[in-house]
Structure formats: C-alpha cells, structure tokens
Structure 1
Amino acid sequence: MVILDLGDGLEEVVVNDRKKVVIQRSRFHGLDTLDIRTWVETPNYKGFTRKGINIPVEKGEELAQKILKVVKEL
C-alpha cells in the first residue's frame, strides 16, 4: 500500500492498481466530517463506491488510535 498526500485535507491509501481508499475532510449537513471511501478504476467504472464511512472530525483521532491498536495486534 502507498499513502499519498494530496494536500487540502485529502489523503489516499493505494490498495492495488484498481482500488484505493480516499480520506477527505468534508461538510455533511453542516458538520465537519471525515469521509473515508473506496475509489475504484475499472474498464466499466471510475469513481467512489458505496463502501465507506462518514464520521465527525472530532472522532478522527479516536478512530486512528483504534485502527493502530488493531494493526499492532496482528
């Protein structure tokens, strides 16, 4: 996996040559959120999938800590 810094509150984790996870800051119903989505590029479709989550920005650090905890337990 490759992590790319795209600036402006946008990050990518490249999973393979057709799929990546995009993490971006956004606004949803007036709230600052983190939107974490799967992006695919196939011959038939290029764009975001329905797979993903949208959480309040203030929960981002807690989510990151939980992910690191799970990764370290592997």
Structure 2
Amino acid sequence: IEHGVIDFSARNAGQIVEGMERDTTDEYGHAYSKFFIFYEQIPPNPPNDPNVTAEAVAKLRGYPDIEGKAEIVCRRPPG
C-alpha cells in the first residue's frame, strides 16, 4: 500500500523511539521505525528467567485488523 499511514507500538517491554511512532509507506509499501529496550526491563537472573519477549507492532491506520508484528527476544547474559 503506497502512502498508507502506519502506527508503531511496543508490547510487553521496550518502546518505539520518540518521534518514530508513525510513518507513511513509500512507493514499495515500506515504512520504518526504531525499537529499543532498556537493560532494566529484562528480568534479572535467578530466580527469574533472564529474558523477555517484546513485540513491535505496526498497524495500518483506518484498518485496525491489518497489522504486522515482530517478536524480539531480549536476554541478559548468564552470570
């Protein structure tokens, strides 16, 4: 979809870089954003599992049923 407005959001952990929550698709239907997660948002080692699965979500504005998701597994190093 050319010139579609895409809204980006983050679920579970992390966030979209400020100012990059929305983009308009180019002539090829591509839109871009950046996601980041703080080290503190990943559970510490024992007793917790030292990873979290965050989701970056892109939705086509005006069509809430059209979305894309990227699952991002973030881990703390062992030790």
Common fold by TM > 0.5: no
Which gives a bigger RCO, structure 1 or 2 (Cα 8 Å, sep 6+)? 2
Return the structure number with greater helix share: 1
Structure having the higher strand fraction is 1
Q: Using structure 1 for the length normalisation, give the TM-score.
A: 0.32
Give the alignment's TM-score, normalised by structure 2.
0.31
